Structure 1
Amino acid sequence: MTEDPLAEAGVPAPPVRLRGALDTLPAYTPGRPATVREGLTAYKISSNENPYPPLPSVLDAVREAAAGMNRYPDMAVATLTTRIAAHLGVPPERISTGPGSVGVLDQLVRATCDDGDEVVFAWRSFEAYPILVTLAGARPVMVPLAPGARHDLDAMADAVTDRTRMVLVCTPNNPTGTTVGAAELEAFLDRVPQDVLVVLDEAYVEFVDAPDAPDALAVHAARENVVVLRTFSKAYGLAGLRVGYAVAHEPVAEALRKAALPFGVNTLAQVAAVSSLEAGDELVVRVKDLVAERERTVAALREQGWEIPDQQANFVWLDLGEDTAAFAEACDAEGLTVRPYLTDGVRATVAEPEANNRLVEVAGRFLADHPR
């Protein structure tokens, strides 16, 4: 073994060289597990998970596929790609899959950005955005939300420069639950240069019932620079298996496949996603039930006096400002774990009716003690 003269002399070894970008990298904060309180059923409503268990047909398919987990998955994800394309009515060549829509977005950023390039997105929005952009060596350009916790598309268009390579539009926006309108999106896209990629992140699209919401697939079909991101984690209830996809025009979809992690979508995820598409009618019923529960919860909170923007996802946003941490603690004391965002507000997933009822009860008491 080679002797180290520095070690023999008692000189500390120099630290391993890591990327400087890590020094300013924000940490992704997952939803905390539910806190158990004596005499209470604990509910975790901090991670936007689907409260329903897997559909029996999906679970059966996964159990059968598990017998072959000693084999590598289909790297091309051929069966699922074909099924997604047929489901959406787009050519299979435009579908690219990955480990959740955030995994696909990571591929997209790495395929698009060089060091020093810029990615524009609203803030507050999905907290993985600045992490993925920074790790790619690009610069996050964060545009404040407009009143009503909505995207300020005019300001985002103003933020585009000759270094901008991508713009992210999260609709419905995570964590505020608001959507962009079809007309304002078209006006925005008219202002964005054709060589800048615009990503419509639609992780919660199945829950949207706003009459002015854009048809993202139609927008994509009409514009070469528009990519649509979707996932099986939310409405389909496959968050634990990690599978999402992009709908992109062929040159971008091909670049995504080149940037993909080999075997990134595991066998069980592929089988579960295919089975979920085949059980679409059952899933539609579940989504309708969650939307109805969302509307019931929002109505109850508004009746108490809370000002809540139009909610179009599977969660509720409470703009709490400096009271954010105190509200999260009040929920925690009642066995209810929500997701606080510094001094911006709290996001609470639409879950079982009992959990939603408890959220309304805690919110009512909190509002009485902390008038807005």
Structure 2
Amino acid sequence: MTSDQLVAAPETALPSLRGAVAGLPAYVPGRRSAGMDIAALASNESHYEPLPAAAAAVAAAAGTMNRYPDCAAVELRERLALHVGVTAGEVAVGPGSVGVLQQIITGLCDAGDEVVFAWRSFEAYPILVELAGARPVRVPLDGSEGHDLEAMAAAVTGRTKVILLCTPNNPTGVPISHGRLEAFLQSVRSDVLVVIDEAYVEYADAGSGPDSLALYRRYPNVCILRTFSKAYGLAGLRVGYAITTAAIAEGLRRTALPFGVSALAQKAATASLDAGEEMAARVSLVKQERARMAAELEAQGWALQPSQGNFLWIRADGQLLATLMEAFEAAGIMVRAYQGDGVRITVADPASNDRVLRLLETHAPLATS
């Protein structure tokens, strides 16, 4: 091309974002504590210090941070495979379960393809879908704040590539029973990947949700998504994983950001799996506090669905939601508001939980009726 064939760009032209990116809503993380008297209950993170084994592993690995991590995360994948009873080839890791989910959507969806999920559910779902150029298909929750699986099955079309099922659901805490999920899988085309997002599975009571590994072994289009950010207390290190067929897992590894999971995160996650009993003891304390809070709130007149996560959900909109958020703000308690839907409160230490109970008592239906 000669110089006289070059077309000069307008002087005012500047680089611009893709339309899909420019129109994306920003993911809103839970607010951070700015003072010692603030109860930070907006993010569903562990309120315990890291497991000693994980902290020791990070300290030991800190001297190697000048080196790149194992891009294939072989040691961690092999340990995860042993932990869940699959092969290492069926495991893919990423920077948190949300990072693995981005790999899933990137790997399976072309522009215009559809991803079906319940709403309200994890706030990152529509963002990741739209970022990939795919179309998010939101299906309203049922009257019990859970997945309306019949409506979700009806929403599947020829363009559907992925279905996201969050169990227990974030932010409502409602799980999907094993029987309902299996019936759903029987009704879905085998070429649609069904992602069972189990970020909070460690907090769920036995039998409340699905046996996802059994379903995975029976239905090859099932993908299980889990994280170390919640019960294992590694939210700051960002490591999650998927269990899926070897072919899909290989594709996820190819779509992953190179070296996306740090060496420190890999070592901490591996050590955490070896400290399962201590992690389970901490989870038990959270479940005890969850049950205590739920019982007191129900006695105050709040209508709650049984939560299987490390949080409680209060349905509220309009003036009630505005009133509650003003009260929480004034009391120095950070919780997560979802405009038009409700408020999610992370279960923390007993003292922080007591602050929540005292505040909600003054605004409870029985107190204001």
TM-score range with shorter-chain normalisation?
A: over 0.9
Aligned length: 363
- Are 2:310 and 1:314 equivalent residues in the alignment? yes
Three-state SS of the structure 2 residue aligned to 1:346 is: strand
- Are 2:89 and 1:93 equivalent residues in the alignment? yes
Match among 285, 300, 304 for residue 300 of structure 2: 304
Distance 1:164 1:198 in 2: 11
Shift of 1:22: 2.2
In structure 2, the gaps of 5 or more residues are 1-7
Three-state SS of the structure 1 residue aligned to 2:137 is: strand
| Paired residue type of 2:362 | R
Distance 1:95 1:244 in 2: 10
Q: 1:289 to 1:369 in 2, by over 3 A?
A: closer
Contact 1:172 1:205 in 2 (8 A): yes
Distance 1:193 1:337 in 2: 42
- Are 2:286 and 1:286 equivalent residues in the alignment? no
Which has the higher mean CA deviation after the structures are superposed, 211-220 or 234-243? 211-220
Aligned to 1:21: 20
Aligned to 2:340: 343
Distance 1:103 1:370 in 2: 44
Aligned to 1:362: 359
Which has the higher mean CA deviation after the structures are superposed, 313-322 or 13-22? 13-22
Moved over 4 A (4+): 368-372
Contact 2:301 2:366 in 1 (8 A): no
- Are 2:217 and 1:218 equivalent residues in the alignment? no
Three-state SS of the structure 2 residue aligned to 1:67 is: helix
For residues 199-232 of structure 1, the C-alpha deviation after alignment (integer angstroms, 9 at most, x for no partner) is 0000000000053421001101111100000000
Aligned to 1:107: 103
Contact 1:34 1:336 in 2 (8 A): no
Contact 1:35 1:336 in 2 (8 A): no
Distance 2:242 2:269 in 1: 14
Distance 1:18 1:34 in 2: 33
Identity %: 53
For residues 291-344 of structure 1, the C-alpha deviation after alignment (integer angstroms, 9 at most, x for no partner) is 111111111111100000010000000101212232122111111100000120
Distance 1:195 1:55 in 2: 40
| Paired residue type of 2:181 | L
Aligned to 2:139: 143
Aligned to 1:263: 259
Which has the higher mean CA deviation after the structures are superposed, 11-20 or 153-162? 11-20
Shift of 1:251: 1.2
| Paired residue type of 1:367 | A
| Paired residue type of 1:28 | Y
For residues 235-263 of structure 1, the C-alpha deviation after alignment (integer angstroms, 9 at most, x for no partner) is 00000000000000111111111111100
Aligned to 1:170: 166
Aligned to 2:350: 353
Match among 214, 218, 223 for residue 227 of structure 1: 223
**Structure 1 length-normalised TM:** 0.94
| Paired residue type of 1:246 | A
Shift of 1:17: 2.8
Match among 317, 330, 333 for residue 333 of structure 1: 330
Aligned to 1:184: 180
Contact 2:30 2:43 in 1 (8 A): yes
Contact 1:149 1:309 in 2 (8 A): yes
Match among 127, 135, 146 for residue 123 of structure 2: 127
Distance 2:23 2:367 in 1: 35
Distance 1:240 1:328 in 2: 27
Distance 1:368 1:161 in 2: 43
Distance 1:71 1:185 in 2: 44
Distance 1:23 1:371 in 2: 44
Distance 1:210 1:358 in 2: 29
Aligned to 1:324: 321
Distance 1:266 1:332 in 2: 36
RMSD over aligned Cα atoms = 1.8
